[in-house]
Amino acid sequence: MLLPIHLTLYVKNKKTMSVVRLYAGLIINPLETSSAAPHLDYIPDGCLIVDEHGTIQFVGTLTDATMRFAETQIQRFDNAVILPGLVDTHVHLPQYQAAAVGTGELLEWLNAYIFPLEARFVDEQYARVQAERFFRDALAVGTTTMSVYCSSHKIATHVAFEAALNAGVRVCMGKTMMDTGAPDTLLSTPVQNIQDSMELATRWHGADGGRLQYTLTPRFAGSCSWKLMLECGNVAKTEGLRVQTHLAENPSELAFIAELFPHAASYTDVYEQTGLLTEKTILAHSIYLSGEERSLLKERNCAIAHCPCSNRFLQSGVMPLRSMMNQGFRIGLGSDVAGGFSLSMMNEAREAAESSKTWNILHRGGELPALSAEEALWLATLGGAQALGLGDTVGSFKVGKEADFVVVGLDALMPRDTVFHSYPNLAARLVYGTAGMKVEHTFVRGKELYRRGDSVR
């Protein structure tokens, strides 16, 4: 167990005289690039200074910091790494109970395991307990920002926002909209779906200084009528809200969508014609896309939530990650619990790296460089933030950004007699950690929300 050293010299920032807090340790910082060239920076004697609002005031070396900010409260993390909070760009809160459960592919799995589970969220008390546990567990694995699908119930979505408000986590979240293709108890009319969503957005979008944001959430074209998708597209445009949905995940799903909408040129065209493709749209999976569909998505500047763990668990397929990165898409990683079996974004980073190798194995002769551990870390942090349109707020350490970060102990990452010879090896140990990544502390806006072995809230 790593114990931070507190030097309680409460003093003042020389310039502003506001109380600041200084965090010291080995910092890993994603560089402000795009997915076409992801890189990390390392600051061995690093220092992060955060003001009383949770905004980063300084990133650099401890030596420079102590010259500029005298008499500051210092929290030093020895034998640990400080990295930006992890970003989950695609996850289903009401499915958490089903993580690792079930067999079969997407459509069969939804009917057998997921819809019955989501139906239980009609019970407000059950929904509240589940939401509190979900966010608590996410913070414990270092996730500080999440793009969340709630159940299709308005009240369950409301209590999920209350739970996120109290937990301190950063969310973009919405009520899952469905009006067809699922049990009746999960459906409501297009008018009701939009009305409920707008009432929730009015209450929660931008709450707590923008930490909580509302996302329009039509589940996918297989459970939304044309009318519902069209209405959703209209609202997205007039209100400027994010949209999240699924696209081209599974071959059976593709056939199902083609049967439902024979007049559309492609799955992507269904969303194009209904106005759902905007620069604030996050599309999960996006495995089976033609060149035309990819060009259209790029033109609309849509973001991709890459969910490799789920893609394998549900036997959906292997996304051509590297070529989509080379095309310059904004790409983040999504746990897609419970299609994925873990809330850990470090698990998802490892799956992303291994999945890119699987793509190469399946396409001998057409190999592209496999995703490195460093690139996977970049996708799990700044890549995810950029995908959600939060790249100016979180995802890396930069003056003016909000101080969402995680402290990971190094002892658990390796056998004691192992030494690092390079920073890429350190990143690899984080992603592939022999004993699993041990998150020691999780902070959002400079506020500690999780401490291993302790309950700080």
Helix segments in 103-225, DSSP class H: 106-109, 115-119, 124-140, 154-167, 190-204, 207-210
Q: Is 114 helix (H, G, I), strand (E, B) or coil?
A: helix
Stretch of residues binding Zn ion (CB under 5 A), selected from 179-187, 190-198, 270-278, 328-336: 328-336
- The smaller minimum CB distance to Zn ion, of residues 336 and 404, is found at 336
Closest separation in Å from C-beta 304 to Zn ion: 13
- The smaller minimum CB distance to Zn ion, of residues 28 and 319, is found at 319
- The smaller minimum CB distance to Zn ion, of residues 196 and 336, is found at 336
Tokens of 5: 């050293």
Stretch of residues binding Zn ion (CB under 5 A), selected from 115-123, 336-344, 347-355, 399-407: 336-344
Amino acid symbol at 345:
M
Total chain residues near Zn ion (CB under 5 A): 1
Stretch of residues binding Zn ion (CB under 5 A), selected from 155-163, 165-173, 332-340, 398-406: 332-340
**135-194 residues near Zn ion, rule: CB under 5 A:** none
Tally of residues, the chain: 457
Contacts by 63-69 with C-beta closer than 8 Å and gap 24+? 65/22, 65/24, 68/14, 69/13, 69/14, 69/20, 69/22
Q: State the DSSP code for 380.
A: I
- The smaller minimum CB distance to Zn ion, of residues 57 and 245, is found at 245
Residue 351 lies near Zn ion (rule: CB under 5 A): no
Closest separation in Å from C-beta 339 to Zn ion: 6
Closest separation in Å from C-beta 307 to Zn ion: 7
CA dist 434 and 421 (Å) reads: 17
- The smaller minimum CB distance to Zn ion, of residues 336 and 402, is found at 336
Alpha carbon distances (Å) from 145 to 236, 352, 393: 22, 19, 11
Q: Is the peptide bond before 65 cis (omega within 30 degrees of 0)?
A: no
- The smaller minimum CB distance to Zn ion, of residues 28 and 182, is found at 182
Stretch of residues binding Zn ion (CB under 5 A), selected from 22-30, 233-241, 333-341, 415-423: 333-341
The residue within the footprint of Zn ion, chosen from 118, 196, 272, 336 (CB under 5 A), is 336
Stretch of residues binding Zn ion (CB under 5 A), selected from 237-245, 315-323, 334-342, 400-408: 334-342
- The smaller minimum CB distance to Zn ion, of residues 305 and 431, is found at 305
User: Which residues have a Cβ under 8 Å from the Cβ of 67 and sit 6 or more positions away?
Assistant: none
Q: Which residue is nearest to Zn ion (CB)?
A: 336
Q: What angle do CA 369, 390, 87 make, to 5 degrees?
A: 55
Q: Is 406 helix (H, G, I), strand (E, B) or coil?
A: strand
Closest separation in Å from C-beta 371 to Zn ion: 21
CA dist 163 and 93 (Å) reads: 12
Closest separation in Å from C-beta 246 to Zn ion: 6
| Beta carbons of 397 and 55 less than 8 angstroms apart | no
Q: Binding residues for Zn ion, per CB under 5 A?
A: 336
